[in-house]
Amino acid sequence: MRNGLLAGCLFAAQAFAQSEPPAPAEPVAGIAAILTEPLLSEVSGAAGSRRDPNLLWLINDSGNGARLFALGTDGVLRADLAIAAVRNHDWEDLAVYDHGNGPRLAIADVGDNAGVRETVQILILPEPLLPAADSTLEVQRTLTLTYPDEPHDVESLAIDPQLPHGYLLTKRTKPPRLYRFDLDGDDHQTLQLVAPLDGMPQLSEAELQSEQGFKRYRHQPTGMDLSCDGQQLWVLTYGSIQRYQRPPDGWNGALSSAAPRSLALLPLPQAESIAFDRDCQFVYVLSELSPVPIVRYRLH
């Protein structure tokens, strides 16, 4: 079944992808590698290493252990690291940032399919050096966050590369809502609503009535990342990538009326993770399934 799925993905991707020009005006899609690692069959989040431009950090979602994986952009697993004294309640995304004290990883334990969690957590730890001398990592800090309105299911985290701000984007609300937390704030915080993203695509009433199966959810956000200069926010859905340009006054309420630029997604089942590489030459998109292609968008 999965071999057939892989063949179908490869055929569709080859039909979709175009030859790469030297300097594309728009990102050019291609396949970086094929992910076949059995340990990575439920990838829910990805982030580009700040130490190595050819390395991605990955996590699996609920039902898996508290582990961090280092994956080369060639599809080869480089490390499988346990994280001590924490539980994977529902890890959905992660981000890497460096605000002057060395690169840090932020893991978003924010999934809430039932919409009942009173609080969610952001786990912060140093980005490991590879090869790791110790295969067990420790969390340096835990942020416990509360929504100002009601619990939300979230699969998308982004950290501003220059400012001490983190962002979460809801999955099931229509439109999705962007919330902010403060990395320099208290360990317990109430999230701030930045804006509803009214420009995100939504199914029409007619489509809601006619669409069957997974297509009904194709516009739900499943991951996001900020560019190296903090000027672009890329939001991944099951069916596309929506790219927001930073408003002149920052990521604020002006986003509610902003129109994102849509980028077609290579045919990929259950696209769950998106990440800029360290130098923002590429954007990587991964599926929650395996084996599947690791999709790569060339930016420069």
The domain that holds 291 is classified in CATH as: 2.120.10
- Other CB atoms within 10 A of residue 247 CB: 14
For residue 290, the model assigns a pLDDT of: 86
Q: What is the DSSP letter of 184?
A: T
Whether residue 291 is preceded by a cis peptide bond, meaning omega within 30 degrees of 0, is yes
β pairing state of 136-138 and 165-170: unpaired
- The closest alpha carbon to 33, from 87, 75, 82, 86, belongs to 75
Which run of H or E residues covers position 82? strand 77-84
pLDDT of residue 264: 92
pLDDT value of residue 92:
98
pLDDT, residue 32, reads 98
Question: What token pair was written down for 215?
Answer: 């297509």
In a domain, 20, yes or no: no
The pLDDT assigned to 12 comes to 52
Question: Domain span at residue 258?
Answer: 2-13+26-298
Q: What is the model's pLDDT at position 134?
A: 67
The pLDDT score that the predictor gives to residue 8 is 56
Q: Which of 266, 275, 289 is nearest to 31 (CA)?
A: 266
- Token pair of 73, please? 């952009």
The answer to whether residue 21 is domain-embedded is: no
pTM assigned to the model: 0.91
- Residue by residue, pLDDT tens for the chain (300 residues) are 555 555 555 555 554 444 444 545 789 999 999 999 999 989 999 999 999 999 999 999 988 899 999 999 999 999 999 999 999 999 999 999 999 999 999 999 999 999 999 999 999 999 999 987 567 999 999 999 999 999 999 999 999 999 999 999 999 999 999 999 999 999 999 999 999 999 999 987 777 777 776 678 889 999 999 999 999 999 999 999 999 999 999 999 999 999 999 999 988 889 999 999 999 999 999 999 889 999 999 997
Structure tokens that stand for 248 in this block? 């002149």
Largest CA distance in the chain: 56
Asked if residue 235 is part of any domain, the answer here is: yes
How many structural domains compose the chain?
A: 1
